Structures are given as C-alpha cells and as structure tokens.
Amino acid sequence: MGIKELIFGDRRDPRHVLEELFGGTAEEDSAPESAKTWARERLAAAGVNPAAETVRAVRLLRVEEPRLSLLPAAYLVKQIA
C-alpha cells in the first residue's frame, strides 16, 4: 500500500483485492470462495465469531495476512458473518 492509499484511502473494489490475494473469482456481490474459506478457517481456529465480534474478526484477519487492508478485510468479514 502506497502513501496515496494511506492518505486518501484505498478505493479499489474489495472483491478484486481479495482475488489478487487469495485467487479465485469474485461473484458480482460476493468475495471469492477461496478468501471466504481462508477467513472462516482462521476465525474458527481463533474462536472468533464474525457475526458477534466484527472488529475483532477484522483485526485478526489483518494480522494473519498483513497485505489485507481494512476495506477488503471488513468486506470479507461481512460476507462470512
């Protein structure tokens, strides 16, 4: 992530970011299945319920995958909650 994204925010479509990081193909209104599977596994291993602990889930995913910025992480948690 460059300085421009840090200052102005990341304006990329979170689905495309998730495709780049995890492979697979995003549907029109959904994250790639590979990203959702990865997130479910990480959250289950940590005992985090994404529906009840959204902020904690986003933070955990970003710690597990440092290239994952806030918007795609939040989008992914919303998809699996």
Mean pLDDT, the chain, rounded, equals: 91
Cβ contact 22:34 at 8 Å: yes
3-state DSSP: the chain helix, strand, coil percent, rounded to 5?
65, 0, 35
- pLDDT bin (cut points 50, 70, 90) of residue 28 is confident
Give the pTM. 0.85
**Would you state the pLDDT for residue 23?**
94
Cα–Cα distance, 44 to 51 (Å, whole number) = 12
Cα-Cα end-to-end distance for the chain: 26
